[in-house]
């Protein structure tokens, strides 16, 4: 959480200044008095009061929600009855969008909503000192997408086992590649790794091999990560 110091003639004025300048609402910040200040005698020896302000996650949740609502207000694909809910868990802000006719908002393979998620993450990290990630779901899209990716991974793994030849999947987002790696990890006889550079990074599924180095560099300079399912980078 972000923390900063504010000074004013009195503690009350310092608190009012914090609320006014940052737009904080009730419960969105805490403060502790570092110096209550002193009026002195005939203004001799007077000093300002100072407080340390701690911004609560409730503030960031609201700001992300407002940011997304503002962006979507300019989108012709956003339904008028769109409901936006946000909450903070495990250093992440989870946003859920619900409403009618959300398909066009999601975009092909979730590209539109992923772009919005990326913008929201950039926005929140510009106003906080602690790294945060924004995760957006539309309806139950992510659950359905996750099951689809698992099914694709299992089908491709079966092809590799039957033919003994590696297969290359289409480029995917990092969280989708992690789903593939986790799925392949549970299937005997195959292994997976990510190859290429963003945004064209993709997964290769191949017959399981022993004694392979975990990392090597491709001739074109792109990094190939073996056993990439162990990496959080995807």
Report pLDDT for 98: 85
Using the predicted structure, report yes or no on whether residue 42 has a pLDDT greater than 80: no
8 Å CB contact between 124 and 95? no
8 Å CB contact between 94 and 110? no
Instruction: Select from 3.30.2320.80, 3.30.300.20, 2.40.400.10, 3.30.70.60 the CATH code of 58-139.
Output: 3.30.300.20
Domain 143-230 has CATH 3.30.1370.50: yes
Q: How confident is the model at residue 122 (pLDDT cuts 50, 70, 90)?
A: very high
Q: What is the mean pLDDT of the chain?
A: 84
8 Å CB contact between 136 and 68? yes
For the chain, report the end-to-end CA distance as a whole number of angstroms: 27
Q: Give the residue-averaged pLDDT of 164-189.
A: 93
8 Å CB contact between 95 and 85? yes
Domain boundaries, the chain: 3-55, 58-139, 143-230
For every residue of the chain, DSSP letters joined together read --EEEEEESSHHHHHHHHHHHHT--TTSEEEEEEE--B--BTTBT-B-EEEEEEE-HHHHHHHHHHHHHHHHHT-TTS-TT-EEEEEEETTEEEEEEE-SS-HHHH-GGGHHHHHHHHHHHHHHHHS-SS--EEEEEETTHHHHHHHHHHHHHHHHHHHHHHH---EEPPP--HHHHHHHHHHHHTSTTEEEEEES-TTS-EEEEEE--SS--SEEE-TTS-EEEETGGG-S--
Question: What is the model's pTM?
Answer: 0.66
Q: How confident is the model at residue 77 (pLDDT cuts 50, 70, 90)?
A: low
Q: Give the residue-averaged pLDDT of 49-70.
A: 94
Dihedral angle, C-alpha 114, 119, 122, 125, nearest 10 °: -90
Over residues 132-146, the pLDDT tens digits come to 899 998 888 888 889
8 Å CB contact between 202 and 171? yes
């Amino acid at each position: 959480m972000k923390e900063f110091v504010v000074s004013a003639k009195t503690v009350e004025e310092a608190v009012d200044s914090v609320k006014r300048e940052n737009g904080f609402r009730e419960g969105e910040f805490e403060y502790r008095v570092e110096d209550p200040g002193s009026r002195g005698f005939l203004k001799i020896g007077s000093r300002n009061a100072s407080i340390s302000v701690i911004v609560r996650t409730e503030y960031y949740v609201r700001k992300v929600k407002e940011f997304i609502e503002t962006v979507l207000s300019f989108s012709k694909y956003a339904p008028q009855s769109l409901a936006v809910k946000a909450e903070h868990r495990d250093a992440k802000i989870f946003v859920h969008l619900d409403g009618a006719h959300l398909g066009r908002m999601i975009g092909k393979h979730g590209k539109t909503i992923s772009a919005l998620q990326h913008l929201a993450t950039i926005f929140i990290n510009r106003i906080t000192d602690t790294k945060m990630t924004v995760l957006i779901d539309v309806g139950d899209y992510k659950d359905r997408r996750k099951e689809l990716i698992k099914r694709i991974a299992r089908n491709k793994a079966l092809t590799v086992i039957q033919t003994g030849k590696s297969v290359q999947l289409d480029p995917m987002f990092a969280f989708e590649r992690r789903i593939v790696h986790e799925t392949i990890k549970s299937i005997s006889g195959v292994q997976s790794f990510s190859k290429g550079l963003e945004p064209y990074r993709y997964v290769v599924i191949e017959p399981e091999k022993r004694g392979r180095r975990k990392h090597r560099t491709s001739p074109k300079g792109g990094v190939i990560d073996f056993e990439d399912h162990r990496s959080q980078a995807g």
